[in-house]
Structure 1
Amino acid sequence: MELTKTYRFEASHILPKHPGKCSRLHGHSWILHVSVEGPINPETGFVMDFADISEVVEPLIKRLDHKHLGVYHYELRQIHWHIEIPDEDRVVGTPLGFYPTSENLLWWIAGQIGLGLDKGWRTSELGPTATTKWSKISIEETCTSQALLTREEYDGNRS
């Protein structure tokens, strides 16, 4: 069975390699969907408590919310811009050098939360069974644009 928990965060980014308006600074109301799958635990009746999913995902959401996603240096139309950040952790939510497309963001998020979800992170008695794992992660940057990363794709491309 599969469970999905949804999260929301606000963040800006710039895509300097994009030929259109996305090459300029802009922001989104991002919506992240995290799905886990596994058998129903016969003792508890749960696959996993939704609160246990949040124990893994919410620290990441706090790291990204109201932050800038991506790199400091951008090359736009042969002009070099440098954004001075006095306190990186308060402004930038992703690692230096990260190119913040929705696709790249999903891969990065999977790496951040996957270990916690796969290790059977448990904060309640309704935690996961040994075979519970994340199955897919999707992100919406607008109400009409969504990217999806499946566990199968992630595992197949990590090697």
Structure 2
Amino acid sequence: MSNPIITKKYHFCASHKYGNADWSEEKNLEVFGKDYNTHGHNYILEVSVTGPIDQGSGWLVDLKKLGQIVKKYVVNVLDHSQIEEDIEWFKGKQPSSENILVWAWDEIAPRLERGTLHKLRLVETHSIYTDYYGPGQ
């Protein structure tokens, strides 16, 4: 029998600006278009955990504890931030959904007491989302 996967959603608002300091303004505008300007999103972060079901509780993960980890180390850090300016990890990196998920994985996965982080999904707009299954996937 395979293990179930449970997913919890979290919301945050953040702004970012794409740009490469080594490029001219023209090149930045050509590559990033409107995203070369500071802009924001109302993000949805979906955190999926898998693992065996605890026979005592019937759960594979304590959602309250999961929420405490995700809020403290990810949501509260990102919420109302200018990502590439306010968060040290993003200095010198593009504040893309892809990079946000790599960073978030490293913040969440080692802190889980039960279950294993299976997938992160970051919904940026109604038509764009990014999935990440962890390093090496």
User: What's the TM-score bracket when you normalise by the shorter of the two chains?
Assistant: 0.7 to 0.9
Report the structure, 1 or 2, having the larger helix content: 2
Equivalent pair of 1:135/1:150 in contact (CA under 8 Å): yes
Letter aligned with residue 99 of structure 2: N
Who is 2:75 aligned against?
61
**Residue of structure 2 aligned with 1:133, choices 88, 107, 116:** 116
Q: Identity of counterpart residues, as a percentage?
A: 32
**Residue of structure 2 aligned with 1:15, choices 7, 15, 18:** 18
- For 1:93 and 1:61, how far apart are their aligned partners in 2? 12
Q: Helix, strand or coil: the match of 1:70?
A: helix
Equivalent pair of 1:64/1:94 in contact (CA under 8 Å): no
Number of matched residues? 122
Equivalent pair of 1:32/1:137 in contact (CA under 8 Å): yes
Who is 2:22 aligned against?
none
Q: CA RMSD in A?
A: 1.5
CA deviation after TM superposition for structure 1 residue 98, in Å: 3.0
Who is 1:144 aligned against?
127
CA deviations on 1:18-50 (whole Å, 9 max, x unpaired) are: 331111110000110001001111121111121
Q: Helix, strand or coil: the match of 2:66?
A: helix
- For 2:8 and 2:35, how far apart are their aligned partners in 1? 28
Give structure 1 regions of 4+ aligned residues with deviation exceeding 4 angstroms: none
TM-score (norm 2): 0.82
- For 2:6 and 2:128, how far apart are their aligned partners in 1? 22
**Residue of structure 2 aligned with 1:108, choices 94, 98, 103:** 103
CA deviations on 1:49-97 (whole Å, 9 max, x unpaired) are: 21111121001211110010114xxxxxxxxxxxxxxxxxxxx135322
Whether 2:87 is the aligned partner of 1:93: answer: yes
Equivalent pair of 1:136/1:150 in contact (CA under 8 Å): yes
Structure 2 unmatched runs, 5+: 20-27
TM-score (norm 1): 0.72
